[in-house]
Amino acid sequence: GNSVTQMEGPVTLSEEAFLTINCTYTATGYPSLFWYVQYPGEGLQLLLKATKADDKGSNKGFEATYRKETTSFHLEKGSVQVSDSAVYFCALSDLANQAGTALIFGKGTTLSVSS
Amino acid sequence: DVKVTQSSRYLVKRTGEKVFLECVQDMDHENMFWYRQDPGLGLRLIYFSYDVKMKEKGDIPEGYSVSREKKERFSLILESASTNQTSMYLCASTKDRVRTGELFFGEGSRLTVL
Q: Which amino acid is at A86?
A: A
Q: How many CB atoms lie within 10 A of CB A115?
A: 7
Nearest residue in chain A measured CA to CA from B40 = A107
Closest Cα of chain A to B104: distance in Å?
Answer: 7
User: Mutation test of the interface with chain B: which of A49, A103, A104, choosing the one with the most B Cβ atoms within 10 A?
Assistant: A103
Q: How many CA within 13 A on the CB side of residue A35?
A: 30
Tens-digit pLDDT profile for residues A24-34: 999 887 888 99
Write the burial class of residue A79 (CB in 10 Å: 0-12 exposed, 13-18 middle, 19+ buried): exposed
Tens-digit pLDDT profile for residues A35-76: 999 999 888 999 999 988 999 999 999 999 999 999 999 999
pLDDT at A98 exceeding the cut of 60: no
